[in-house]
Amino acid sequence: MRLAGQTWEYLTDPANWQGSNGIWTLLLQQLLLTATALAITMVLALPIAMWLGHLGRGGFVAINTSNIGRAVPTFALLAILVTLDHPGVKTFGPYGRAGLATLIALALFALPPIVTNGYVAVDEVADEVKESARGMGMTGWQQFSRVELPLALPLVVSGLRLALVQVWATATIAALVAGPGLGNLITAGFYQTNYPKGIAGAVVVAVVAFLLELIGSAAERASQTGRRSTARRGVRGHRTVGG
């Protein structure tokens, strides 16, 4: 109980939230790391996974390749990357020391849920729906963008939600290579035997993870609400143009 009280005191002291090493600064640094790593994976991997799902082939290779992110511990991968000449431990803009290595490790960690859900979401759109779209004369791109994508969106968003929360929590490892983020608060607290400080950092990480989960869940519900109406509009729009 005493430790809990001291942790609460640390969290409610405004001085601990201010300055270059304050909680707000470290939190924003970790959010930047998380958002950038997630964006890299979304831009580079998600479109490929979804298009392979549309084609109905290549899924085994894509999914198993992405599972490297599960097979190799993220910290082990980061440790390997920082020992190389490139990316190494060079400062990378706002991402700090070993910033590029940290982004690569986190982006690879985000691969499995994003690639797996992206591929499966499109691949498992009902065959009769795909046949109907082709029967209306839709091109492959029209079928994908107007019919398959709206129906697949909830599962795609679910993968993004999982990746977001996982990457956010894992981004604390940046501190182990002197990078930015709330991991610095946690490691400094335990190294200095200032346990309230270390636990306070862990609490902030957990609370933000919960908030990100809520945001992701809300986005997932919104995509479920609009998916069928969007697909129907796409089909009706094609009928109007074609008719």
- For residue 186, how many C-alpha atoms fall within 13 Å in the half-sphere facing its CB? 22
What is the pLDDT averaged over residues 208-237?
78
Would the pTM of this model clear 0.95, i.e. be above it? no
* Chain mean pLDDT for the chain: 89
- The number of folded domains in the chain is 1
CATH number at residue 19: 1.10.3720.10
- Top pLDDT among 230 and 134 is at 134
Q: What angle do CA 187, 23, 12 make, to 5 degrees?
A: 105
Q: Is residue 241 part of a domain?
A: no
Q: Is residue 60 part of a domain?
A: yes
What is the pLDDT averaged over residues 235-243?
49
If pLDDT is split at 50, 70 and 90, which confidence band does 1 have?
A: confident
- Print the domain residue range for 61: 2-231
Predicted pLDDT of residue 241: 43
Q: Is residue 201 part of a domain?
A: yes
- Separation between Cα atoms, residue 240 and residue 243, nearest integer Å: 5
- Separation between Cα atoms, residue 110 and residue 167, nearest integer Å: 6
Q: Is residue 239 part of a domain?
A: no
Distances (CA, A) of 22 to 17, 52, 93, 177, 243: 4, 45, 19, 19, 62
Distances (CA, A) of 51 to 54, 60, 116: 5, 14, 12
Q: Is residue 51 part of a domain?
A: yes
Q: Is residue 236 part of a domain?
A: no
Q: Is residue 242 part of a domain?
A: no
What is the tens place of the pLDDT at every residue in 150-188? 999 999 999 999 999 999 999 999 999 999 999 999 999
What is the full DSSP assignment across 146-199? IIIHHHHHHHHHHHHHHHHHHHHHHGGGGGGGT-SSTHHHHHHHHHTT-HHHHH
Asked whether the predicted pLDDT for residue 76 surpasses 80, the reply is yes
Q: Is residue 131 part of a domain?
A: yes
120, containing H or E segment:
helix 99-123
